[in-house]
Chain A
Amino acid sequence: QVQLQESGPGLVKPSQTLSLTCTVSGASISTGSYYWSWIRQPAGKGLEWMGRIYTSGSTNYNPSLKSRVTVSLDTSKNQFSLKLSSVTAADTAVYYCARGTSNGYSLGYYFDYWGQGTLVTVSS
């Protein structure tokens, strides 16, 4: 059974960098054809895909966040990470890590496994 677990600070100051880690168990992040992704959800609002890293290490980011977001892999720890720079109160949200799976012919992927989510508050 694939499981994902987010970890990181729950409080970040404005203008600083938000850093989160997702630890994956039950699957290797360096094998298979999966898109390890970060998705966030402000309180009472919808879901926003932020970015992903493929098992090969290639990345793709939401154009609205592209200049501020970085996703990276640590295969030795079976983890992937998110960094979001220059945060403001608008970045306060629950952050989820998720595994993206494609149907083979699709350009993109759906999310079949999710972490439980972690609340990050941006405040001084």
Chain B
Amino acid sequence: DIQMTQSPSTLSASVGDRVTITCRASQSVYSWLAWYQQKPGKAPKLLIQKASSLDSGVPSRFSGSGSGTEFTLTISSLQPDDFATYYCQQYNSYSPTFGQGTKVEIK
């Protein structure tokens, strides 16, 4: 299995901050990486696929970058609705795997 490691595990930030979350893969996944946002008690919501393609309706303050083994999710100006847990997921194998998650908390 391809292992996905996110950092940090928890991030404290304020409204308006620029936030960056990193996801590293144990081997190259090319650009086959997705990002999700999950709020308590809710299903994950797709934000980005193919490393940098924003899903329909996702605000432009979200962006993704990277390829190979290192990827980042950036929120350019954190909004109150963005406090949540974020997961990366690789899909360069027949068994998709997720990172352990990064919780974005209010500072």
Contact = CB atoms under 8 A, between A and B. Distances in A.
A115 B95 CA distance: 20
A49 B93 CA distance: 12
A103 B43 contact: no
B2 to A, nearest CB: 10
B31 to A, nearest CB: 9
B32 to A, nearest CB: 5
A67 B6 CA distance: 29
Of B1, B55, B91, B92, chain A has the most CB atoms within 10 Å of the CB of B91
A49 B43 contact: no
A109 B90 CA distance: 8
A107 interface: yes
B44 A107 contact: no
Contact of A49 (B42, B45, B97): B97
A48 B49 CA distance: 18
A96 interface: yes
Contacts of B83: none
Interface string B1-25: 1000000000000000000000000
Interface SS of A by simple majority: loop
Contacts of A47: 44, 87, 89, 98, 101
A65 to B, nearest CB: 10
Nearest to B44: A114
A55 B42 CA distance: 26
B98 A107 contact: no
A25 interface: no
Contact of A63 (B32, B44, B95): B95
